[in-house]
Amino acid sequence: MAGVTNPAYRRLCREQAESGTACRPAGVFTCEMITARGIVERIGKTFAMMAPDPGDAVFSVQLYGTDPEVIARAVAIACGERGVKHVDLNFGCPVPKVTRRGGGGVLPWKLDRFAHILTSAVRAAAPYDVPVTIKTRIGIDDAHATMMDAGRISEESGIAGITLHARTVEQAYAGKARWEAIAQLAGAVSIPVIGNGDIWEAADALAMMEQTGCAGVSIGRGALGRPWIFRDLAQAMVSGLAQTTALPTAGEVAQMVRRHAELLVEHFGDERHGMADLRKHMAWYFKGFSLGGELRQELGVVSSLAQLDDLLSRIDGDEPFPRHELNSPRGRQGSPRAKVTMPYGWLSSRALDGAELDDDLDAQGG
C-alpha cells in the first residue's frame, strides 16, 4: 500500500485484526517500500517511514535496492540499531521510476545480481536471527518470466519465504491476477509461498489458499478504506469460514475514520498534517455509500478534528454497507503498460556482469 501504510493506519488495521479473534499476533504489518540507500545514508525521512507501530508483534521493514553491499549495510543497520525483526525485499514494484534503474520487478531478470542481493541480505540478517523474505512478480512480461528462477534462487540463498504478486510488471495493476502462477510456484519450491493479487474480501483469501496451496496471503490494495478486512481475515483463518454478515454500517465506518484521524494526529504530532494524510482515504472509506456530493467534497478537504466530527455527524449512521461494493477493486488499476521501462539493453542477457545500477532515493514509497 504505497503511500498509505504509515504506523497510524497499520495500527488501525492491527486493531481490527485483533478484534476479530483471540489469536495474537494477527498477521505481520510492514511499512511501505523504502530505499536501502536511505537507511545507509541515514536520511531522516527514510527512518520516519520505517518507524513501527509500537503495538506490532513483529517490526517488519520492506526494502528496495539494487546494490548488494548497500542492501547488506541497510539490513545490518535496520536489525542491529533499529530492532527490525523481519526484512522483506521488494522485487515486485512496477513503477517506472524504479524499473528504469533496473530495480523492482525487472531486477530478477539479472540472475547474478538477484542472487548476490539475496545472499548478502540473508548473511547480514543472520547475526540477529532475522528472517528475510522477498516479493516478486510472474515476470517482466509473458515472454520474460522470472518467478521460477526467483523461487529457485531464493531457496538456495536462505530466503525464508516468497510473496508472488500474480501479475507481470507489464500488467502493473491491470486485469486479473493469475492465481494459477501462485499454484505453480508453490508446487515447485519448498519455502512458503505467499499469494498476492485481487484479495478484496476474506472469502478471496480463503479461495486463493484453497486453489493455489499457498501458505498465506498478502493484502495490498484490498486494505484501502477497508481496515476491517483484517478482522474478517483473522476470523476466516481461525474458523475456515469467510464472514460476510458483519459488514459495517456507515456509522461504524465513520467511527473507524475518527479512530484513524486520532492515530494520524498522534503520529504526526499535529492536526494539520494528520488531516492532510486522512483526506486521501475518504473516497476509499465511503465508496458506494450515499453521502452526497457536497459532503464527499468537504470530507476530501477536512482540516481539523472538530470539522471532521461535524462532517461525520451528518452521515446516516444506519445506512447498511453497499453490498454491490464487495469484491470491488480499489486503488491503482489502469491499463497494462505499453512498454516496461528498463535500462538500455536490459533483456539482452540474464547477467549484469558487474555493471553498476543507480538507486534513487525518490523511489521509496513505491
> Which pLDDT belongs to residue 356?
75
Active site residue 13: no
pLDDT given at position 330: 74
Q: Please give the pLDDT value at position 337.
A: 73
Rounded-to-integer distance, Cα 340 and Cα 355, Å: 20
For the chain, what is the mean pLDDT? 90
Domain count for the chain: 2
Chain centroid, CA 192 distance in Å:
18
Tell me: do 157 and 273 sit in the same domain.
no
Per-residue model confidence (pLDDT) at position 2: 38
Q: Are residues 236 and 126 in the same domain?
A: yes
1 versus 21: the higher-pLDDT residue is 21
> What pLDDT is attached to residue 25?
60
Please indicate, yes or no, if residue 268 is contained in any of the structural domains: yes
Q: How far is CA 186 from CA 190, 208, 247, in A?
A: 8, 12, 32
Would 357 be classed as within a structural domain?
A: no
pLDDT digits (tens, 9 = 90+) for 290-317: 999 999 999 999 999 999 999 999 999 9
User: Based on the domain organization, do 317 and 207 belong to the same domain?
Assistant: no
Each residue of 163-180: pLDDT tens digit? 999 999 999 999 999 999
- Indicate whether 190 and 268 sit together in one domain: no
Q: What is the 3-state secondary structure (H, E, C) of the chain?
A: CCCCCCHHHHHHHHHHHHHCCCCCCCCCCECCCEEHHHHHCCCHHHHHHCCCCCCCCCCEEEEECCCHHHHHHHHHHHHHCCCCCEEEEEECCCCHHHHCCCCHHHHHHCHHHHHHHHHHHHHHHHHHCCCEEEEEECECCCCCECHHHHHHHHHHHCCCEEEEECCCCCCCCCCCCCHHHHHHHHCCCCCCEEEECCCCCHHHHHHHHHHHCCCEEECCHHHCCCCCHHHHHHHHHHHCCCCCCCCCCHHHHHHHHHHHHHHHHHHHCCHHHHHHHHHCCHHHHCCCCCCCHHHHHHHCCCCCHHHHHHHHHCCCCCCCCCHHHCCCCCCCCCCCCCCCCCCCCHHHCCCCCCCCCCCCHHHCCC
Mean pLDDT of 20-27: 62
On the question of pLDDT at 366 being above 60, the answer is no
- Asked whether the predicted pLDDT for residue 4 surpasses 70, the reply is no
Q: Is the peptide bond before 322 cis (omega within 30 degrees of 0)?
A: no
Q: What per-residue confidence (pLDDT) applies to 334?
A: 63
pLDDT at 24: 60
One domain, residues 149 and 232: yes
* Residue 1 pLDDT: 36
Name the residue with higher pLDDT: 233 or 347: 347
364 domain residue, yes or no: no
What is the pLDDT, as a whole number, of residue 112?
A: 96
**pLDDT tens-place string over residues 235-256:** 887 776 665 557 899 999 999 9
Considering the domain architecture, whether residues 213 and 344 belong to the same structural domain is answered as: yes
Range of the domain at 284: 250-325
Q: Report pLDDT for 64.
A: 94
Mean pLDDT of 118-143: 98
Residue 22 lies in a domain: yes
Give domain status of residue 358, yes or no: no
Residue of 13, 31, 93, 214 marked active site: 93
pLDDT computed for residue 3 by the predictor: 45
Q: What is the pTM of this model?
A: 0.91
pLDDT at 364: 63
Q: Residue 93: which pLDDT band, with cuts at 50, 70 and 90?
A: very high
Give the Cα separation of 18 and 26 in Å (integer).
6
Question: What's the confidence (pLDDT) of residue 235?
Answer: 84
Whether residue 1 lies inside any domain: the answer is no
Lowest mean pLDDT, pick from 203-207, 210-214, 231-235? 231-235
**Which has more confidence, 39 or 333?**
39
